[in-house]
Amino acid sequence: MGGQACVFYGAAEFSRDTDLAILAEASNLERLQAALDDLDAEPIALPPFKADFLLRGHAVHFRCRHPEALGMRVDVMACMRGVEPFPIIWERRTEVTLPDGFTVSMLGLEDLVKAKKTQRDKDWPMLRRLLEAHYLANRATPSAAMLRFWFHEMRTAELLVEAAAQHAASVKAEIAARPLLEHAAAGRLSALQAALRDEEDRERALDAEYWKPLRTELERLRHQR
């Protein structure tokens, strides 16, 4: 669900770890623990690998010691701010078959975009590139769902203005959901750029607020340890 998925969707990134979104049920956690054992992976930070922490929104971190994955970090989450519960994102996952026949299930693009709306500086350029890549690959023959996705999520002012000029009825239908699209429809580039920055600031603030009680809980766990 992280940098590895971004690379597939066309937003190349040097990824230092593997991020996994999982179903936090007992039998599934047992299977994941078996896989981590095969990787000789050890926990590297709090909280512990338990369902209740995952279901509250924490990430659990591991470092692999197996020679074929030496030093690789694995981060595991079960729920994310602004992202639908696991059963829903699983239904709309993207599957890729590797050359050896192994199938990898990745977070769907729309869910990946939502997951990247964090307070971290590195996520916003990645978010912009994900949407640009999808738009440029599909703008010649977009579906109604694609247009709705772009008008709800795209972060590049110039491309939003372009899309709005070509699909006036579609952008008009989405203004109520995302008021800054009024600037896109009117071709007001500077105003749109400012509105996009304001939107990003609001999302960063919401993410910081979301993590505040989780960070407090981690501090308590550190003191207890």
Q: What is the pLDDT of residues 73-113, one digit of tens each?
A: 999 999 999 999 999 999 999 999 989 999 999 999 999 99
Higher pLDDT pick, 6 / 155: 155
Residue 153, number of CB atoms within 10 A of its CB = 18
Look at residues 97, 168, 48 and name the one whose alpha carbon lies nearest to residue 106.
Answer: 97
Mean pLDDT score, 189-210: 98
What's the token pair of residue 224?
């207890």
Look at residues 60, 16, 59 and name the one whose alpha carbon lies nearest to residue 41.
Answer: 60
CA geometry: angle 33, 39, 45, nearest 5 deg? 65
Q: Over the range 25-51, which residues count as b (16 or more CB within 10 Å of their CB) and which as e?
A: eeeebeebeeebeebebeeeebbebee
User: 15: pLDDT confidence band, cut at 50, 70 and 90?
Assistant: low
Which residue in the block uniquely carries the two structure tokens 């956690």?
29
> What's the pLDDT score for residue 7?
76
Residue spans of the domains in the chain: they are: 3-108, 123-209
Report the alpha-carbon distance of residue 10 to residue 137 in Å, rounded.
10
Report the alpha-carbon distance of residue 77 to residue 20 in Å, rounded.
6
